[in-house]
Structure 1
Amino acid sequence: MRRNITFAPGVVLDDTPFKVGQAGWVACDKVRFHRNLPQVIGGWEAVTATQLDGVCRGIHTWRDNDGALNHALGTTEELYVIVGGDPFTITPSGLSDGLVDSTGGQGYGTGTWSTGSYSRPSTADYIARTWSFASYGETLLACPSGETIYQWSNNTASAAAAITNAPAAVQSILVPMEKRHVVAYGCTDISGNYNPRAIRWSDFEDLTDWTPSASNNAGQKVLEGSGRIVKAMSTTGGEFVWTTSELWYQTYLGDPTQTYQFTRLGTGCGLIGPNAAVTFEGGAFWMSPDGGFWACSAGGVPTRITSPVEQDVRDNLASVQDAKVYAATVGTFREVWWFYPDARDGSENSRYVSLQLDSGAWAGGELARTAFLDAGTGPSPIAVDPDGNVFYHERGRSANGGAIDWSLESGGFYAQASERFIMYRSLYPDVEEQRGLARFELITKEYPQGDETTHGPYDLMVGQDRVDFRASGRISRVKFYGSAAPCFFRLGQINMDITPRGRR
C-alpha cells in the first residue's frame, strides 16, 4: 500500500527523535522551512577576491548622495569600505588592534563600573572587539567597542577621523531616524568618567557639540537600575536600548530640557552581545545572556519566544564568547538568524539557528559567519566568514562556485497506527526544482531506545519518479541530504510503498 508521511515544519533539537515524531525534524543543515516545506537555502557569491585582515564583527550598508552603494566592515584589526566592488582600508590613525577572542575577566554586568567593564575596562581588555555604525547623511559614523566615534566622508584616499569632543569611550552609536545628531550609549559621561549606563547625544546639526546648554539640544541621561548598556537600535517611533539585564525604549520629545524620554520595558531580558539583536517590521528580536530568544514590538512588552533549539544553543555556546553572537534578518523569507560560536567546533562563530516568523518554524546548521547584514539598500544580504571572505548571500545555487552540503533528518514515526513491523519497498519522490544529486536513507529500529539500522543511501536523481529498496522496522526515520553545485531541493510529500508484517 502507498502511504503519505508528513512532518510539521521546523527542527526540534531539545527532545529525542521518538518524542519529536512527526511534529518536526530532528536535524537539518542549510535548509529553511519556506511556506511550511523544507528547502535548501540560497547560495552565496564573493563580493571581492580580497580577504579582510582580522575577524569582521560589524557591517553597515548605505548609499551616498550620488546613489552609489557603500559597505563598511569593521574587523578586529581594520576598518574597511567596499566602494564599486573594491575594498579600501580607512582605519583611523592610532587605533590599536582589538581582541579576536574574549578572555573572560569579570564579564557582563559584574564588577564595578570603572574596572573590568564590558566595553572599556580601565586596566585590560576582556571582550572581543565589535563595531557599531550609523549614517549621518552620506557620512559614515563608526565606533569600535570601547573607543571613540569616527567619521568618514566618502574619500577612499582618507582614513576615518575621530569626531572632535565626542565621548572618549563608547559602546554603541546610532543616528535616530530623521534626527540630525548622533547618540552614544554606554560611554564617557560629561564629567569625563566612563559610565556603562550613560547615554549622551550631540546637538542637532553639529557632531562636535556634546556639552549641554540652554541654547542647544546636546544632553545626557544615566539609566537607573543595574547592568551595562550593550546596544541601541532604531525602530518605528523610537529606539530600543538594551542593557545586560533590561530593555528600554527611547522616545523623542524635542524639548531642550528633555530631548528624550526613556521607559523601561522589561527586566530579565537583556542582550547577550552587541550584535545579537535585530529589528524587523517595527519590532525587535534578540538573544539574552541566558541563551533565550526574545521579541518585542515598538514600546511593547518583551516576550520570551518558545524555542525548541534554545537548550542546544545554550549548552554548546563557547565559554565567554557571548560578544560574538550575531543576529540578522533575511527579509525575503521573513527569517531571523543568529550565528554563534559552538564549543563543539572551537571558539569562533560556526553555527546558526533561524526562526521563520510566519510559521514559527526553527532551523539550524553549520555556517561560519562572523557578521551578516540583510539586503536593505543593497542587492543581497552580505556576510563575512572567519577568514575574511566577503559574500553576497541568497545568490545563485552554489557555495561561491563550490558544492552546498545540506541535510534533513526526521523524527521517529510509526508507519501505521497499529505500530506493527513494516516492510518498506519503494519511495516516490515529490521534489520541486531539484538541482544536483540528492540521497535518501531510511533508519529503523524496534524500540525507542533500540539499536538503529541505516538502510541506504539511495540516490535520488533529478526527475526520478521511483526509488526501489527493501527495509523493515517498527519505528522509522528518514534522512535526505546532498552535496552539489548547483544545488536545490524542496521536499513535498513523502510517499512510500509499505507492507505490514506480523509482529506488534
Structure 2
Amino acid sequence: SEALRLWVSQNWGEDLLFNYRGGPLYYWDATTGVLTRAVALNTIAGTVSFTATSPTQLTLDESLLAEGTAVKFATTSLMPSGVTAGTIYYLRNVNGATANISASPAGALVNAASTGSGVYISELVDVPSKVNTMLVSDTFRFVILFGTTEYGSAVLDPMLIRWSNQESLVDWVPAAANQSGSLRLSHGSKIVAAQQTRQEIIVFTDSSIYSLQYLGPPLVWGSQLLGDNISIISPNCTIVASGITYWMGVDKFYKYDGRVQTLRCDLRRHIFSNINQSQVDQIFAGTNEGFNEVWWFYPSANSTAIDQYVVYNYVEDIWYYGALGRTAWSDSGLRSYPQGATYSNNVVNHELGVDDNTTGTAVPINAYIESAEFDIEDGQNLVFVYRIVPDITFDGSTAQSPQVTMTLIPMMNSGSGYNEPESLGGQSYANIQRLSTTTIERFTGQVYVRVRGRQMIFKIESNQLGCAWQLGSPRIDIRPDGRATGQGA
C-alpha cells in the first residue's frame, strides 16, 4: 500500500521550512502574508534583470542566494543574448542583490550583449529535490536533511545526511569557503527519524541509533553509533522530556539519557498485541510536562485511525493507558494547557476543567482507576474484607453532590475469573458522597462490605458532570480466612 504522507515543519526565523516524506523542500515567507502559499525551495529565486556589460551584472529579486549558487534561467518573453534558458550557471561575486554569472564554478564570467526581458530564475539546481525528513539545528542554524539526494543526483538515498551552509537555505554545494556537506550512515537500511536534544541530534535508522554532533570545519558534522539492533515504530514516536529521549520500538519502549536503555513496561503485551501494524506510521508521541508524562497515541488492531494511548510517568516509573483519538499534540510550553487536535477538526485544551467539552457541549468524563490483582502472603489463603476507609476528596468539583463508585472484585484464584466464589450479593459497591457544599467538607469515613477471595481488584470510577476527585491512600481491612477451596460467601 502507499505510504502515509507525513509532513515535517521547522521555523526559519519567522518563516517556515517544511516537506513531506520523499518530496521537495518548501519555503513560506512570513512577509508575504498568510494568504500566500509556500513555494518549492528550489524555485524561490524570483525575477532577474541583466545589464549588457562585460561581464554582465544581474540584479536579483531574492536575498537568500549565496556565492556559488547553481541556477537555471527561464523567461516569459526574451532571454538576454549570450544566456541560454535551462542551462546551469553559477552566481559569482554576489554582493547583496547583485551578482555575475559563469558557466562553471570557477570559469570565465558571462558577457550578455542584450538585457532580455521577463527573465527569472526557474530552478536552484543544488537544493536537494527529495527529502524524507529534516530539521533546523539549534547549533549554528544548519538545515539538515535525513534521507535525501546526493549532490548532482536525483535519486533519494535513505541513509544519506546532508546539511546546508550555516545560516543558508540555498547553499548546498560543499566548498572550502562554506560548511555545506554530507555523510552516510552504515547501520540500517533507512533513516526513520531525527530528534534534536540539548547537545546532540539523535538519528534513528530502522535498526540502530546514532548521535550527530557539530565538530566545526572541515568535517562540520560527525556521527557516532550509540546502539545497534534497536527498533523504532514510526517517524514521529520520539520525544524529549526533562533532557531524556524516549521512543516506541516495534515491541518495546526505549530511552536515551547518555546510554540506550529498554524501559520496563507493565503494559507491554497489552499495547503491542493491540496495534494495527498497517497503520503504525500514524503513531506519534507527546509530553505533558506538568504531570511528568510521555504519551504515545496509536491505532488499535481493529482501527484505521488513532483511538488509543499509553502514558509513561517518568518520575513515578508507572504506566497507564486509555482510549482517546488525537491527530496532533502540543505541550504547554507557550500556552497555559496542553493542546490536542481531534478527528472532528477541533483543537482542544487538556487539563482544563473537569468535563469532556471536545464538541462544545460538556459531557461527563468516564474516569476510573483500577489496581492490579493483589493477595496476602503467597496467595495460599482466602481473605475476607469487611471494611474500607476510601480516603477520597472532591477538591475542584463543580457538582453539588459529587460521587464515585467503589468496587471490590474478588477472585478465587488467578485462573478462576472474577467472583468465583461470588461474594455476598456478587460485587460489593458503595457510593461515597460529599455531605456538604461548604468549603469544609465531610467525607465518608468508612464503608462496610462482605467480600471473600484469594485475589482482589480495587476500582474507583465516576461518570458525573462536574465531578473531580483525588484518591489518597485507601485502607482495606483484610483478614486471613482459611485455605478452603470450596464455595463460600
Which TM-score applies when normalising by structure 1?
Answer: 0.69
SS of the residue corresponding to residue 404 of structure 1 reads: coil
Per-residue Cα deviation, 1:365-405 (whole angstroms, up to 9, x for no partner): 11112222222233322211233321222222222232211
- Residue 454 of structure 2 corresponds to residue 490 of structure 1: no
Partner of 2:93: none
SS of the residue corresponding to residue 402 of structure 1 reads: coil
Partner of 1:142: 18
With over 3 angstroms needed to count, the CA separation of the structure-2 counterparts of 1:161 and 1:495, relative to structure 1, is same
- Residue 411 of structure 2 corresponds to residue 445 of structure 1: yes
Instruction: Give distance in 2, aligned partners of 1:451 and 1:237.
Output: 52
Partner of 2:6: 130
- Residue 279 of structure 2 corresponds to residue 321 of structure 1: yes
Aligned to 1:231, which of 151, 171, 193? Answer: 193
Counterpart amino acid of residue 158 in structure 1: T
Deviation at 1:197, TM superposition (A): 0.8
Deviation at 1:277, TM superposition (A): 0.3
**1:74-473 matched pairs, under 5 angstroms:** 103=1, 126-154=2-30, 155-164=33-42, 165=124, 166-190=127-151, 191-255=153-217, 257-288=218-249, 290-297=250-257, 300-344=258-302, 346-400=303-357, 401-414=362-375, 420-433=381-394, 435=397, 436-453=402-419, 454-462=426-434, 463-473=443-453
Deviation at 1:497, TM superposition (A): 4.4
Instruction: Give distance in 2, aligned partners of 1:472 and 1:163.
Output: 71
Instruction: Give distance in 2, aligned partners of 1:414 and 1:197.
Output: 52
SS of the residue corresponding to residue 311 of structure 1 reads: helix
Per-residue Cα deviation, 1:441-483 (whole angstroms, up to 9, x for no partner): 1111322222422514432223333334433334322111112
Instruction: Give distance in 2, aligned partners of 1:233 and 1:473.
Output: 50
Deviation at 1:244, TM superposition (A): 0.9
Instruction: Give distance in 1, aligned partners of 2:444 and 2:192.
Output: 53
Instruction: Give distance in 1, aligned partners of 2:433 and 2:7.
Output: 46
Deviation at 1:206, TM superposition (A): 2.0
Instruction: Give distance in 1, aligned partners of 2:374 and 2:34.
Output: 60
Instruction: Give distance in 2, aligned partners of 1:457 and 1:192.
Output: 68
RMSD: 2.2
The size of the alignment, in residue pairs, is 375
Give ranges in structure 1 of 5+ residues lacking alignment: 1-102, 104-125
Deviation at 1:498, TM superposition (A): 5.2
Deviation at 1:348, TM superposition (A): 1.5
Higher relative contact order (CA 8 A, sep 6+): 1
Identity rate, percent: 28
Deviation at 1:421, TM superposition (A): 4.1
Deviation at 1:160, TM superposition (A): 2.2
Partner of 1:61: none
Q: Is the 8 A contact 1:348 1:386 kept in 2?
A: no
Instruction: Give distance in 2, aligned partners of 1:491 and 1:253.
Output: 51
Deviation at 1:333, TM superposition (A): 1.6
Per-residue Cα deviation, 1:4-61 (whole angstroms, up to 9, x for no partner): xxxxxxxxxxxxxxxxxxxxxxxxxxxxxxxxxxxxxxxxxxxxxxxxxxxxxxxxxx
Which TM-score applies when normalising by structure 2?
Answer: 0.72
SS of the residue corresponding to residue 397 of structure 1 reads: coil
Worse-matched range after superposition: 490-499 or 317-326:
490-499
Counterpart amino acid of residue 291 in structure 1: D
With over 3 angstroms needed to count, the CA separation of the structure-2 counterparts of 1:457 and 1:150, relative to structure 1, is farther
Q: Is the 8 A contact 2:379 2:455 kept in 1?
A: no
Give ranges in structure 2 of 5+ residues lacking alignment: 43-123, 420-425, 435-442, 485-489
Per-residue Cα deviation, 1:129-155 (whole angstroms, up to 9, x for no partner): 222121111222222222222222332
Instruction: Give distance in 1, aligned partners of 2:326 and 2:429.
Output: 30
Instruction: Give distance in 1, aligned partners of 2:377 and 2:334.
Output: 51
